[in-house]
Amino acid sequence: MARGRKPNPVTLKILRGNPSKRPITSPASSPFVAGIPPKPKDLDADAATEWDRLTRELDGVLCVADAGILRVTVDAYAMFRQAQRALQQHGLTYTTTGEAGLMVRARPEARILDSSRRAYLHALSELGATPAQHARVQSLPSGDTPDDRDSGIHKFFRPEPNRG
């Protein structure tokens, strides 16, 4: 999870004059180009459905290099759903008998549900797919047009066409 202040949009940094003199980065200056990673063939039904949903929602933000974090995200989601179904079917607890008598214990799926939910939310945050991260997400250049190949700062300092 990213900490600290939310970054200002590149346009606002340029308009303010960049007093810190730190390099201004923009999606256009990124070495990565937008693209959907190929869908793994070994995903289960839950993971495959979530892969399709996330790639549709994050189109323009994802690049092929995001395949690993996307896989972690959908696997965590699939495990979360599997544990959820097991708890719905069997309940939250089970009973055992031992020397101390009857004991009520939490099902292992409850811990699996909790840890997979945390892993899923963390991975979504890394992808910029949580409400708190939406302001930080910027589209990657597609690499198809000359404008996408220029650095972001040049786009703002190009002379405007004459309108006369």
**What residue type is 156 in one-letter code?**
F
In this predicted structure, what is the pLDDT of residue 100?
87
Q: How far is CA 51 from CA 23, 24, 57, 93, in A?
A: 34, 32, 10, 32
In this predicted structure, what is the pLDDT of residue 32?
66
Does residue 78 contact residue 120 with C-beta atoms inside 8 Å? no
In this predicted structure, what is the pLDDT of residue 149?
43
pLDDT average, residue stretch 26-44: 79
Q: What pLDDT, in 10s, does the model give residues 119-149?
A: 999 999 888 888 777 666 667 666 655 554 4
Q: What pLDDT, in 10s, does the model give residues 38-89?
A: 999 999 999 999 999 999 998 888 888 889 999 999 999 999 999 999 999 9
CA distance 58 to 73: 13
In this predicted structure, what is the pLDDT of residue 148?
45
| Partners of 97 in beta bridges | 102
CA distance 50 to 104: 35
pTM beyond 0.85: no
Q: How many CB atoms lie within 10 A of CB 19?
A: 7
Q: How far is CA 59 from CA 9, 31, 47, 83, 94, in A?
A: 20, 17, 18, 29, 44
- Tokens standing for residue 73: 């995200």
- Tokens standing for residue 56: 């549709």
Quick check: 152 pLDDT over 70? no
Q: Measured in whole angstroms, how far is the alpha carbon of residue 81 from the centre of its chain?
A: 18
- Contacts for 81 with CB less than 8 Å, ≥ 6 apart: 46
In this predicted structure, what is the pLDDT of residue 7?
63
CA distance 2 to 82: 29
